[in-house]
């Protein structure tokens, strides 16, 4: 299987498009929208999309997408018909992850995140496995705020193991989880 960045991106878009097609268009929030490519794909299929990111350097204005520069930790999601959290979750603290899922609860969630695999060769940024209450995973050392691919405002984030992530999602009301690997 081709593992080039282009092939991974194509696979991510394919998975996203197939998941998105499962839902009737409505109000969609793209949290940590970054470049906005997923927000644009949703808008092109009839969704009313609000793309939210603390940074605006990478976002390109697009038809059908309202861009809001804001910290996703302060965004209300109570009118969401769908929440996109693609490449953001693993940049949040454990408390912020739990809070986000609580605010999104009731709305379908498309989540694309890293998980702790149990082995790694990068001790400068990934801790040894840890347990925090019922959650298992690793701590990830975030880069500086100026880094467009780092967390907005925390020095470290939490990467769950897959079983821990599934348990967290279930405890937040997401009893049905479909998964795919880009």
The strand pairing partners of 109, in sequence order, are 83
Please write the tens of the pLDDT for every residue from 2-58. 778 899 889 999 999 999 999 999 999 999 999 899 999 999 999 999 999 999 888
- Number of domains the chain contains: 1
Residue 177: inside a domain, yes or no? no
Cα separation, 41 vs 13, in Å, equals 9
Specify if 93 maps to a domain. yes
Q: Can you say whether the dihedral through the CA atoms of 149, 153, 154, 159 is positive or negative?
A: negative
pTM > 0.95: yes or no: no
Asked if residue 66 belongs to a domain, the reply is yes
- Is 156 inside any structural domain? yes
Sheet-wide strand order for 27-31: 65-69, 48-53, 27-31, 82-86, 109-112
Q: For the segment 125-154, what is each residue's pLDDT rounded down to a tens digit?
A: 899 999 999 999 999 999 887 777 778 889
């Amino acid at each position: 299987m081709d593992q080039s960045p282009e092939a991974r991106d194509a696979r991510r878009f394919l998975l996203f498009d197939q998941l998105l097609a499962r839902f009737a268009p409505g109000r969609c929030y793209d949290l940590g929208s970054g470049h906005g490519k997923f927000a644009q794909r949703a808008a092109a299929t009839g969704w009313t999309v609000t793309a939210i990111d603390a940074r605006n350097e990478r976002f390109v204005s697009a038809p059908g997408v309202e861009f809001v520069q804001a910290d996703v930790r302060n965004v209300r999601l109570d009118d969401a018909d769908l929440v996109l959290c693609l490449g953001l979750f693993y940049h949040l603290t454990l408390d912020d992850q739990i809070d986000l899922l609580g605010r999104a609860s009731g709305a379908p969630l498309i989540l694309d995140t890293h998980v702790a695999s149990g082995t790694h060769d990068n001790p400068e940024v990934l801790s040894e496995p840890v347990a925090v209450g019922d959650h298992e995973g690793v701590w990830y050392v975030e880069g500086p705020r100026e880094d467009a691919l780092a967390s907005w405002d925390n020095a470290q984030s939490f990467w769950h193991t897959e079983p821990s992530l599934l348990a967290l999602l279930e405890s937040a009301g997401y009893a049905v989880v479909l998964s795919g690997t880009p």
